[in-house]
Every structure is written in C-alpha cells, then in structure tokens.
Structure 1
Amino acid sequence: MSISASLVKQLRDMTGAGMMDCKTALTEANGDIDAAVDWLRKKGIAKADKKSGRTAAEGLVGVASDDNGAVVVEVNSETDFVARNEAFQDLVRNVASSALGTDGSVDAVAAADYPGGSKSNADTIKDAIATIGENMNLRRSARLDGTVATYVHNAVSDGLGKLGVLVAVETDGDKDAARAIARQIAMHVAATNPMALDVADLDQAAVDRERAIFADQARASGKPDNIIEKMVEGRLRKFYEEVCLMKQAFVINPDLTVEKALAEAEKDIGAPAKVTGYVRFALGEGVEKEESDFAAEVAAAAKG
C-alpha cells in the first residue's frame, strides 16, 4: 500500500524515529499507526512514551482549595499574550474559586455563578471574548474531596500557571502535616506525569500491550521460554516503577519511593495516611496544533 508523507511525519513526531524507519514501520503495519509504533518499539527504535506533540491551546490552569477539597480548571485562549493579561488572569482565578462550590464537572463549573456578578461562568467567559478580543473557553475541570494539596508549576500569579496538580490524602491524623506531604507529592506528579496511582489502577489493555512488546523483545534473545517469562515479568516490574505514582522514585528523595516517603511522613501526621487520588492538568495537552505550510500558502496566493 502507498504510505503518505503526512502519515510518516505523524509517526516521526510521535516516536522521534528516523523518516525511513517510520516509513518501513508503516509499511509493515499496513498503515496502522499504533501498530507501527509497536513495531518500532520492538526493534528498539522508539521508546514507550510518545512525544506529547505541539499544542494549539494557550491560556491558564487555575487551582483553588478550601477545607473540603480542591479544584483545578483549564481556560483556553488563542495566544499566550492573553494569558499574561491581568483581566484574563482574574477571569481564570474567579472561575476556579467558583468551582469550589460545584462537583468539579465542566458543566457544573460552567453553570456556576461567577463571583461578584449576576451571570454564570460560561456567560462571563463569552462576555470576556468581546472585551479581550480572543476566543476563549472553559476546556476542562476536576475536583478532589477531603484533605487536598495543590501545586502550580511556574506560577504566573497566585494559583495560576501552565501546569496544575491536586493530590488528595486520606488520614485521621494532622491535616496540615498531611497537606505538606501531599504538596510534595503534587510537585512529584508535576515532574513525572504518572500514568496511574498504583498497579491496580492501570488500564489492563495498556499492561497487556506492554507485556506483548516485552515478550517479543525477549524472544529475540533466543533464550528458553522459562527465562523469557522471567525477563518479561522483570521488565513489567520496571514498567510499573516508571508509570505508577506510588512505585516511582520520589523526586524529592530518590532513595525512597513515593509510597515509602508517605509512610515516613506518617510520623509527623500521627496516623496512617493514603493517597486516594491525583489530578494533573498541563495546559493544552492532547490538543493538536494546526500547522500551516507557509511556503505552500505563499505559492497558492501567488497563483491567485
């Protein structure tokens, strides 16, 4: 089958592999891009994690918290210039504040009353479009209940930035001490972007996919089946340590896992503690940027 240049480029952007390797992989996979990614990984040409890709969404991520929990929202704009606008920052801050009175869903946050006004958050954002002069939208939001710490990486203002994290800890002990370790774990989440809280929370399809890839890689060694099985299990354990929050090496003290760091913090908390959930919003993640070919545009314009 014919493999288009755009498909080759897409695979290259996802994996970082060379152009010819990408074309070969797509040919072997009959144009199936996910299968091509697996083919490259089996050959040791591509890593497990796909490149995040360029994103079109600008704007800000905002967090807010009270004694009952915390929320994180993402409000998008067209340009980073608007994100530095104080009016836009106030807008996101107020939307996050009002979200504390909701269940955290986008619909509930959009319908909530905007602080100090008579309109909803959604209508206030619409009004701001006319005032600020750019298209804006409330893209997503989330809430965690209980003892929750917040963290904003590279904050542009209090509670506002391009990456926001919530971490909830359940304990009967000292809440301030629990929030202190939860904030450190939130900083860790910002840095490592774990795939799941623990092994039990991983998508089984993702685990099965990793197992199949590891098995193919191990078989290439020519070792007997019983050795291959041990090799696969060993690589899966390593995979869990890389992608599961509680099993990751704690960035603040790499000699400990996050799980062990929390256990040590229980001395200050005065009671057992458990991380019950986390949320990580990176601005614009998952939104593909629409790229244009400037040379092609000029050529098309020249043709009239």
Structure 2
Amino acid sequence: MQRAVLSALGGAARAPPCRWLSAAPPALRELRELRARTGQPVLRCREALERAGGDLRQAEAWLEAESRRRGWARAVAPGAPRAREGLVGVLSEGSAAAMVEVNCETDFVARTPEFQQLVEMAARGVLGHCQGAAGTKHLLREDELAQLRVGDKGDLLSDHLALAMGRLGERLSLCRAGWLRAPGGFVATYTHGWVPPGPPVAMGTYGALVACGGPGPGPPPAELRELGRRVAQHVVGLAPTALGTPEDELGGDGETRLLAQGALLEPGVPLGRYLRDRGGLQVWDFLRFQCGEEPPEEPPRDPPASPA
C-alpha cells in the first residue's frame, strides 16, 4: 500500500509543470476583472466565481443580487443608529430646483466618486419627479425617495442604493429630498462644504433653495439672480424657519423669520428692506438642509407669497 501511494505521488511530482499552472493565470485574471467591475472584496469575488463555475457574467450577476439583498436588509435593520455623514446635493433646471440628502457612516465614503454618483442620481430623480408634479413645493420622505425611477434603465433608486452599499461596505440611507418651483421667477441655490464646485449637481454639507422673483414681469436681470444666490447663502448661514414679510422690522439674535433677520452683508438692516433697496427682489419660499440634522416632521413655514 505504501509503495502504491509513493508511486502515485512520484508520478504527480514528475508531471510537467505546465499541467499544474496552466489554469491559474486565467482564474487570477477573472478575479481581478470581477473586482474591478464590482468593487467587491477579493474573497467575495472569489466566492462568486466559484459559485458560477468561473463564468464572469454569472459571477457579476450573483454579486449584484447579493448586494441588493444584503445591502438593503442592512439599511432597514431595526434599531440601527442613523448614519449622519454624507452629502446634500442640489440641481436646478429652468424655474425649478431639487435638493437631496444622502447619508453614510463616514466622511471617507462621502468623498468617494461612487457615493457622489449616487447623490447625483438621487438629485436627478427628484428633479424629474418635480417636473411632472403639481404645486410649487414638496418634500419627499425616505420611502418615497426609494421608489423613484432613475438612470437610463429606470431602475428603483433603492436598488442603486443597495448596490452602492455592497460595494462601499457601509450602511447608506436616502434621508430626504425636496423641490421648489418658481413660476415666472427662478430658484436660487447655494451649497456649502468641502466638495469642489462642479456642474451640474452641486454638493456640500449644507444646501439651500430660494424661490425668487423680480419686481415685475419678465426674466430677472443677472444682478438680481446674484442677489438671490446671496439670499440662499444667508439661509444656509442663519437657518431661518419661517419666511416673514418684507415689512418686518429687524429682529434680535434669535429671530427665525427670514425677512426679519439682519442681512448677511448688512446685519443692521432687515433682509426684506435690504432686498427692496437693491432692485426689489421678491422671496416667495425657501428650503434648507443640513447634513446629519434631525429633519422636522412638519417643517414650519409661512404660506408662499403669490408670484407677481
């Protein structure tokens, strides 16, 4: 028996080296390609290839299915603490603009191109939803965001979220979104944070939308549009919760009405008077997001003024 075993081992040892090594390079190439395509860890890619019998397409399909299943389950796990890092994304088109907040667990992930692509996809989906909806203002909850159809194939945003979670290895969430429309006017936007500005979706840790109009009919001039951007910057900096009226007197340090707050560039003058004295820019409504804050259930706001 021992002689037979030694003979078998000896025969294997004398086999040409190419017979033992020829299968290794293709497997390694497939592993590298699958990792590059999906961004999944090496061990998970190896498991996918083993399950698929080495077929790259089947392995990629299995990884996507697992990412959807496991990633989405992690997102809705009961009792899981809310992820508070992430980004606010702002996108405008014509007389409308949309703003979204997508959260992750670390700012490292928020800085990755894949996470930022998810924020951009969400912003585009919300703006598309806005264009087909009625009204001038609307807020979307997480469950509403998840059901938006996005991308070239019209997949659910929740599916893209699950895939991103599988690839990035962190729990992500679609926190909230909103849009403003300004018929006869424009929506000024502003974002603040560490993300370099780059069209078309602006991103940061703070964002604001302000529905504005000029003193008369017709498109407002460039200087009023720039003034609108400064109002959006004011909204980010001073965090008002109500609109107020252009006739409001200057409030104190705790003033929460936008038009009664001291103008950011001239604190001794209420913002309503500041705008009236500089061309008559009208402010109809606004929306402000701060990444990681606890969104109010019913955001307090005055009824928007009627566009001129």
1:179 matched residue in structure 2: 225
Say if 2:162 is the partner of 1:149: no
Give the counterpart of 2:210 among 141, 156, 167. Answer: 167
Opposite residue 101 of structure 1, the aligned amino acid is: G
Q: Structure 2 unaligned runs (5+)? A: 1-81, 131-137, 296-308
On the 8 A contact 2:83/2:104 being kept in 1, the answer is: no
Question: How many angstroms does 1:276 deviate by?
Answer: 1.0
TM-superposition CA deviations, 1:1-50 (whole Å, max 9, x none): xxxxxxxxxxxxxxxxxxxxxxxxxxxxxxxxxxxxxxxxxxxxxxxxxx
> What is the root-mean-square deviation of aligned Cα atoms in Å?
2.5
Distance 1:134 1:56 in 2: 9
TM-superposition CA deviations, 1:197-251 (whole Å, max 9, x none): 1179xxxxxxxxxxxxxxxxxxxxxxxxxxxxxxxxxxx9845972211011111
Give the counterpart of 1:96 among 93, 106, 123. Answer: 123
Give the counterpart of 1:135 among 171, 174, 177. Answer: 171
On the 8 A contact 2:102/2:176 being kept in 1, the answer is: yes
Opposite residue 284 of structure 1, the aligned amino acid is: G
Structure with the higher helix share, 1 or 2: 1
TM-superposition CA deviations, 1:87-127 (whole Å, max 9, x none): 10111012112211113523554322222344121211111
Q: Secondary structure at the match of 1:101?
A: helix
Q: How many residues align?
A: 193
Give the number of the structure with larger relative contact order, counting CA–CA contacts within 8 Å between residues 6 or more apart: 1
Q: Structure 1 unaligned runs (5+)? A: 1-54, 201-235, 267-271, 288-304
Give the counterpart of 1:277 among 249, 272, 285. Answer: 285
Distance 1:116 1:261 in 2: 45
With normalisation by structure 2, the TM-score equals 0.57
Mark the CA change 1:199 to 1:180 in structure 2 (over 3 Å): closer, same or farther.
closer
TM-superposition CA deviations, 1:124-153 (whole Å, max 9, x none): 111111111111111100111021011001
Distance 2:238 2:150 in 1: 34
How is 1:251-262 mapped onto 2 (pairs within 5 angstroms)?
Answer: 251-262=264-275
Distance 1:66 1:265 in 2: 25
Distance 2:254 2:85 in 1: 32
Percent of aligned pairs with the same residue?
A: 34
2:112 matched residue in structure 1: 85
2:12 matched residue in structure 1: none
Mark the CA change 1:118 to 1:238 in structure 2 (over 3 Å): closer, same or farther.
closer
With normalisation by structure 1, the TM-score equals 0.58
On the 8 A contact 2:165/2:172 being kept in 1, the answer is: yes
